[in-house]
Amino acid sequence: MADNMITIHIIDREGVTHDLEAPTDMNMNVMEVCKSYELPVEGRCGGMAMCATCQCYLESDHELPEQSDAELDMLDEAFFVKDNSRLGCQIHINDEIDGIVLRLAPEGN
Amino acid sequence: MIETDIIIIGAGPVGLFTVFEAGLVKLKCHLIDSLPQAGGQLAEIYPKKPIYDIPGYPEVLAGDLIDRLMEQAAPFKPGFTLGESAMSIEETSDNQFIVTTNKGTEHKAPVVMIAGGLGVFQPRKPPVENLENFEDKGVEYIIRDPEMYQGKKVVVAGGGDSALDWSIYLIENNIASELSLVHRRSSFRGHLDSVQKVMDLADQGKINLITEAEVIGLKGNGTLDSVQIKHNDGSEIWKDTDHFVPLFGLKPELGPIADWGLEIEKNAIKVDTRDYSTNREGIYAIGDINQYEGKLKLILCGFHEGTIAVQSAFARIHPDKKNVLKYTTVNGVNGFE
């Protein structure tokens, strides 16, 4: 693996796991990686935590940065929210999340 | 009947700039938007957010950009139908279109430009079984006339300002006979003043606060009788109510234009990049609502699309005239009288 690449594991809405390689030097987030691999993540607001179409559930032990007020506000109004809910657009691709496992939330947000 | 040269559906940044470009070739515009003010998503959702990729502005707040675009369009005296959604379109025998809104306002023009951004803002509907069966029969997503709830039992759902403010209003003005506020979490994220007021009213027994719970079902015979509430611990209750008002914000959807006979791809309107025309002659789609190979959903690109589309619109409206490109520096901006 190149020094600037990590692997993230996305479980789609049919339960299929996709192992995606993502570059850490392109300032990308999880929503953008999913879209670039054409996974069914809408990302309607473009990554501003203003919609919940990139909601996902953290299913590995990775410690993510504290959620911002904007993200919490959006999740507060979203549907199918669980304790481990996150917005994919607020999860930035860096070395610390190598191997992370995320499950896509149901559609309808 | 409002008559104009170009009906623009969507009064966001791209629609507004198109007014200016149309004015340069002496075409008049009328804009329709479902929001009560011009500006579209920029004004509605993030007026205080900075935008960095508008030429000439290293940084401009979204709301300020709208103000500047309105100023730029003003010499061409655009008409506005605001707070109404474009619902239907029909073609007349003289090659004009009539666009009618949900309030029956009719607009007639030879050209229609769809600049609806990500679509019409519509209430976000919770995933509740049976919900559609009770719409306008006890379920409302917007409170238009508070007096409708006079003496009624009401269940409000949501944790944002809208849910908090309406709960306070319906109780403080002695309108609802009983009000329950249901929220999935134990805390609320609205303005602190509103949160405190709701807590106070709950302590006084005036608002029935049901937290860490969700409405999951509805029951009634023709109209709503009760809602099923499931707590996070798994327990469920049925609560008698006359109205259920889920207030979970807005989200953009294509809306009625999805039924206008336009070719749709990736939940957007497919266009020909020669002039951003759709498969229906005389109808164009510009900005985030269109789709073509290489599409970038940027305001910047929408400005370009509107400019090109207007040239094509001119040719449709004035087939016998030759339009020579005029530079604004040479002729200045000659607004309408």
Name, in order, each residue with C-beta under 8 angstroms of B148's C-beta and a sequence gap of 6 or more.
Answer: none
**Mean pLDDT, all residues of chain B:** 94
Residue A2: its pLDDT value, please?
A: 66
Cβ atoms of residues A10 and A39 within 8 Å: yes
User: Distance, in angstroms, between B226 CA and closest chain A CA?
Assistant: 21
For chain A, positions 50-69, list CB contacts with chain B under 8 A. Answer: 50-51, 69
Residue B118 touches chain A, beta carbons under 8 Å: yes
Mean pLDDT of B106-120: 94
Mean pLDDT of B34-42: 87
Residue B43: its pLDDT value, please?
A: 81
Mean pLDDT of B44-56: 87
**Residues paired with residue B139 on neighbouring β-strands, in sequence order:** B135, B244
Distances in Å between the Cα of B250 and the Cα atoms of A101, B34, B123, B160, B335 are 30, 12, 4, 12, 36
Q: Cα(B10)–Cα(B114) distance, rounded to whole angstroms?
A: 7
Residue B245: its pLDDT value, please?
A: 97
For residues B114-130, one letter each, b for 16 or more C-beta atoms within 10 angstroms of the residue's C-beta and e for the rest, the string is bbbbbbbbeebbbebee
Poorest-pLDDT segment among B92-96, B240-244, B265-269: B265-269
Q: Using an 8 Å CB-CB cutoff, list chain A residues near B45.
A: 50
> Given a cut of 80, is residue B45 above it in pLDDT?
no
Cβ atoms of residues B28 and B273 within 8 Å: no
> Given a cut of 70, is residue B160 above it in pLDDT?
yes
Q: How confident is the model at residue B287 (pLDDT cuts 50, 70, 90)?
A: very high
Residue B44: its pLDDT value, please?
A: 76
User: Distance, in angstroms, between B164 CA and closest chain A CA?
Assistant: 13
> Given a cut of 80, is residue B31 above it in pLDDT?
yes
Residue A49 touches chain B, beta carbons under 8 Å: no
B230 or B43, higher pLDDT: B230
> Least CB-CB distance to B159: which of A51, A76, A79?
A76
Nearest chain A residue to B126 by CA distance is A79
User: Distance, in angstroms, between B250 CA and closest chain A CA?
Assistant: 9
Q: What is the pLDDT of residues A6-60, one digit of tens each?
A: 999 999 999 999 999 999 999 999 999 999 999 999 888 888 888 899 999 999 9
Name, in order, each residue with C-beta under 8 angstroms of B304's C-beta and a sequence gap of 6 or more.
Answer: none
Nearest chain A residue to B124 by CA distance is A109
Residue B117 touches chain A, beta carbons under 8 Å: no
Residue B180: its pLDDT value, please?
A: 98
User: Distance, in angstroms, between B295 CA and closest chain A CA?
Assistant: 14
Q: Using an 8 Å CB-CB cutoff, list chain A residues near B248.
A: 77, 79
Among B262, B268, B297, CA closest to B112:
B262
Cβ atoms of residues A101 and A59 within 8 Å: yes
Q: Chains A, B: CB contacts under 8 A, how many?
A: 33
**Residues paired with residue B195 on neighbouring β-strands, in sequence order:** none
Q: Cα(B129)–Cα(B212) distance, rounded to whole angstroms?
A: 19
B145 or B114, higher pLDDT: B114
Residue A60: its pLDDT value, please?
A: 97
Name, in order, each residue with C-beta under 8 angstroms of B147's C-beta and a sequence gap of 6 or more.
Answer: B175
User: Distance, in angstroms, between B236 CA and closest chain A CA?
Assistant: 17
Residue B124 touches chain A, beta carbons under 8 Å: yes
> Given a cut of 90, is residue B337 above it in pLDDT?
no
> Least CB-CB distance to A79: which of B49, B127, B159?
B127
Q: Using an 8 Å CB-CB cutoff, list chain A residues near B46.
A: 48, 50
Mean pLDDT of B19-46: 90
Query: What does B275-336 look like in DSSP terms, one character per residue?
Result: TTB-SSTTEEE-GGGEE-TT----HHHHHHHHHHHHHHHHHHH-TTPPPPP--HHHH-----
Q: Which two tokens stand for residue B115?
A: 């600049």
Q: What is the pLDDT of residues B310-329, one digit of tens each?
A: 999 999 999 998 888 888 88
Contact A76 B46 (CB under 8 A): no
A46 or B126, higher pLDDT: B126
Strands A55-58 and A101-104 turn out to be antiparallel
Residue A1: its pLDDT value, please?
A: 53
Predicted complex: ipTM over 0.85: no
